[in-house]
Structure 1
Amino acid sequence: MIDPDDRQKLLELDDKIRALKAQDAPREERKDHHRQTEAGWRMVIELVSGLLIGVGIGYGLDSLFGTIPIFLILFTLLGFAAGINVMLRSAKELQSQDDTGTQGPDES
């Protein structure tokens, strides 16, 4: 049978252990709204850059070959599709980071 004095010591030890564990436990980080804004701008920039690259290549090929703007239309659509693809890949990456709770390489 446990002595009442020993029981009190065990309860005090348990309280000390819980206090130390609480100090070492990772603190909940509040979601930074700037992170979401940066992710949104990143996606917009990826989409627009895909479009601009497609327009540039299409216009350059049309100028080079002297054709009607068929290459401009074709590469604009391809640039748009590439921008959407990269944007979706970034969204999946951000979603997986949120699910696992890990931070990206540029976050501290």
Structure 2
Amino acid sequence: MSEHPSEPDPERLAALEKKLAAVRKAQTPPPQRIDHHLSQSNMAWRMVIEMVSGLGIGFGIGYGLDALLGTLPWFMVLFTMLGFAAGVRVMLRSAREMNEDRAAEQADTLLAEPEEDDERG
């Protein structure tokens, strides 16, 4: 044997590194979204902002028309109600998108889980 006993075998070290990498990869938890904990509050704020902006835009348009035409409360009331309806509609669309995203995440999670029955035979 020409190798010195205190020197490690490079082939064995490479094989050991491959085994360690496979074990580390198997034990590594899946990456979590950074904003996962804040996503519900972000969606809630998004819905509130959509509602308030709908009301504000409707109020602004109505008040502007009333100021131009001299019919002070009528257009303001009408467009504020239309802004409210638009805000509710946008909120419902956002809620539907959020539910679809959650359902897609759950489906991906279920598809990604390995089945235990396959291992037993």
Residue deviations 1:79-101, cap 9 Å, x none?
Answer: 00000000000000010000001
Q: What's the TM-score, normalizing by structure 2?
A: 0.60
Q: What amino acid does structure 2 have at the position aligned with 1:38?
A: N
Q: What amino acid does structure 2 have at the position aligned with 1:78?
A: L
> Aligned residues: percent identity?
55
Q: What amino acid does structure 1 have at the position aligned with 2:87?
A: G
1:39 maps to which of 34, 37, 43? 43
Q: Any unmatched runs of 5+ in structure 1?
A: 1-15, 103-108
In structure 2, the partner of 1:71 is: 75
In structure 1, the partner of 2:102 is: 98
**1:1-108 correspondence to structure 2 within 5 Å:** 23=26, 27=30, 29=32, 32-101=36-105
Q: What amino acid does structure 1 have at the position aligned with 2:90?
A: V
Shift of 1:26: 7.7
Q: Are the equivalent residues in 1 in contact too, given 2:63–2:72 (CA < 8 A)?
A: no
Equivalent pairs, count? 84
Runs of 4+ in 1 over 6 A off after TM superposition: none
Shift of 1:57: 0.2
Q: Any unmatched runs of 5+ in structure 2?
A: 1-18, 107-121
Q: What's the TM-score, normalizing by structure 1?
A: 0.67
Give the structure, 1 or 2, with the largest relative contact order (CA under 8 Å, sep 6 or more).
1
Cα root mean square deviation, aligned: 2.7
Q: What amino acid does structure 1 have at the position aligned with 2:39?
A: R
- Counterpart CA distance in 2 for 1:52 and 1:68 is 17
Structure number with greater Rg is 2
